[in-house]
A = this chain, B = another copy of it.
Amino acid sequence: MISHKPTPVLYSQYKETLQKIADVKTAYAVLQWDQETYLPPKGAEGRGRQMATLSEIAHNMGTAIDLGDLLNELNSRDDLAAINKKNVSLSLEEYNKIRRFSPAFVRQMSETVSKSYHAWIDARRKNDFNYFEPQLQQLVELKKQEADILGYEQHPYNALLNEYEKGANVQMLDKIFSDIKSPLQELFIELQRLPQADTSFLHQFFPKDQQWKWGQEIARILGFDFSSGRQDIAEHPFSTSFNTSDVRITTRIDENDFANMTWSTIHEVGHALYEQGLPPEEYGLPVGEYASLSVHESQSRLWENCVCRGLPFWKYYFPLLKTYFPDQFKNIEVVQFVQAINKIAPSLIRTESDELTYHFHVMIRYELEKKLIGGELPVKDIPAYWNQEYKSLLGVNVPDDNNGCLQDVHWSHGSFGYFATYSLGSFYAAQFWKQAQLEIPQMMQKIENEGDTGVLLGWLRKKVHPHGKFYTSEELCKQITGSGLESKVFVDYLRQKMVSLNIGA
């Protein structure tokens, strides 16, 4: 009888089961990594088979009755240490959630997603949303069903938001975005009075091999541990982690755009540093995983924007960069360089946008998804809605669907409720950045004079990384900064940087 077994015995059994499930899931992640980096073209079909089978196995293991009994029993015990208790309760929550979905629903979702992805590819090729619409329609209906199965209060979109960011809901996000919208718009107007940065020198020819070497160099500088990870080339940059000792990032190289590879590498390194800093002894258990998508994004944005778009960092490292590209940066001063990499300008494409207008892109998607899932916006009206919002919020005319509502892959993957975490991540990043400066008075000097960002990494390795999922985003933020998310900190950070750099929009 399970109820007679001592708690440590049951906990070991639980841990062993969860770690085996993790082995299968991370094996899946290896197959996926290989798919994006080295898979020969004709290998795609076989890879699909392998991944579907591993995914089915992991699902079966994660929904086994025995596991449920074990989790319920352990959850009723009162002699578990705090971390173990948290692991068990989060695992039970996850177990109960995935048990709600019938195999038939899971299969239908997976098939619909697969078809939607192909429809999206087709629509992109034809630059016409109409080719995506019927599949997207089906997918949205299915996501509404998913929301019903998951359960929600007030708004069905809450159920989906919660999938990516625990505790997130429409009420909270409406407030965050409405709080920040006007300040960002005001800042934008304010910055229009300042001179615009010249970015032309970033678009000279930067040879591939040299960029690759420079990318490895900057990853090393920021503390990416190449003995516990690697970097490769992929079409779309991403980071993935199999365990804390095997964290991989990818990048792509555009020889006519210096910023592309460099900041995508820094962004992925930020994610990877987090993964390399999670507690290895909690492998496969909730506390061994990242807190939330927004906290993950806070780590990438912190390095990408706060550190590596800052003047102090480049005061130290610009001379090193010049050794990689002596001709390209011959007549460029460090301030010019930092002005260029911070240029603010409304644009059509989210992933190419600047630190300020980025959030307008997110807000449009957030509102659109909310209306879509809430049934206020029919799928067929997406392009018109999209174009109108881009005109109104960013002041740009959307010329076609590829530069409009077809630009992101997320919906075709069935990801509704994801985009908001990108903004939350930036806001948390600004708060962590401010706090780090307060707690480590010598930090900015260390960065500027010695190029030493290790002091920040050390701080994150104490404050953020080792806690895994023990705290929610908000709990973590309070624990570190004394208060929950405050988007104002982000606006202040941005204003101060742009004004001190004298850069306009």
Binding site for B on A (CB under 8 A): 19-20, 23-24, 26-27, 30-31, 34, 38-43, 45-47, 49-50, 52-54, 56-57, 225-230, 232, 242-243, 245-246, 283
- Name the CB-closest residue of B to A25: B50
Please name 6 pairs of A and B residues whose Cβ atoms are closer than 8 Å in the assembled complex, sorted by A: A23-B54, A30-B31, A34-B34, A39-B246, A42-B228, A43-B243
Leading 3 A-B pairs by shortest Cβ distance: A43-B246, A23-B53, A46-B243
A31 surroundings in chain B (CB, below 8 A):
27, 30
Closest B residue to A52 by CB, please name it. Answer: B23
Which of B39, B49, B227 is A23 in contact with, Cβ under 8 Å?
B49
Report copies per complex: 2
A50 and B38 form a contact (CB under 8 A): no
The residues of B that contact A56 with a CB separation of less than 8 Å are 20
Interface hub of A49, A54, A283 (most chain B Cβ within 10 A): A49
| A229 nearest CB neighbor, chain B only | B40
Q: Choose from B19, B34, B42, B232 the contact partner of A30 (Cβ within 8 Å).
A: B34
Asked whether A47 lies within 8 Å of B246 as measured between CB atoms, the reply is yes
> Judging by beta carbons under 8 Å apart, are A19 and B49 in contact?
yes
Contact at B27–A242, with CB atoms within 8 Å? Answer: no
Provide the bound-state CA to CA distance between A27 and B48, in Å: 11
Name the prevailing secondary structure of the A interface residues: helix
- Residues of B close to A26: CB separation below 8 A: 46, 50
B residues less than 8 Å from A229 (CB atoms): 40
- Chain B CB count within 10 A is highest, among A20, A27, A31, A45, for A27
Pick the contact of A245: B23, B43, B57 (CB < 8 A): B43
A245 to chain B, nearest CB (A): 4
Flag if B45 contacts A30 (CB, 8 Å).
no
Residue ID in chain B nearest A228 by CB atoms: B42
Distance A214 CA – B46 CA, assembled complex (angstroms): 29
Q: Which chain B positions have C-beta within 8 A of A46?
A: 26, 242-243, 245-246, 283
Residues A27 and B54 in contact, CB atoms below 8 Å apart: yes
Q: Check if B20 sits within 8 Å of A245, measured CB to CB.
A: no
A27 and B45 alpha carbons, distance in the complex (Å): 14
A66 CB to nearest B CB, Å: 14
A466 to chain B, nearest CB (A): 18
Q: How close is A56's CB to chain B, nearest CB, in angstroms?
A: 8
Q: CA–CA, A226 to B39, complex, Å?
A: 10
Which residues of B sit under 8 angstroms from A245, Cβ to Cβ?
40, 42-43, 45-46
Q: Name the contact of A41 in the complex, choosing from B23, B30, B227 (C-beta under 8 A).
A: B227
**A228:B19 contact, CB within 8 angstroms:** no
A227 touches B40 (CB 8 A): yes
Give the chain B neighbours of A53 by CB distance below 8 A.
Answer: 20, 23-24, 27
User: Which residues of chain B have C-beta atoms less than 8 A from A52's C-beta?
Assistant: 23
Complexed CA–CA distance, A228 and B283 (Å): 35
Q: Once the chains bind, are A230 and B38 in contact (CB under 8 Å)?
A: yes
Residues in B with CB closer than 8 Å to A226 are 40
Q: Measured between alpha carbons, how far is A309 from B227 in the docked complex, in Å? A: 41
Looking across the interface, which residue of chain B has its beta carbon closest to that of A27? B50
Q: Chain B residues near A243: list those with CB within 8 A.
A: 43, 46, 49
Give A23 to B242 CA distance when docked, in angstroms.
Answer: 19
Of all chain B residues, the one with the shortest Cβ separation from A43 is B246
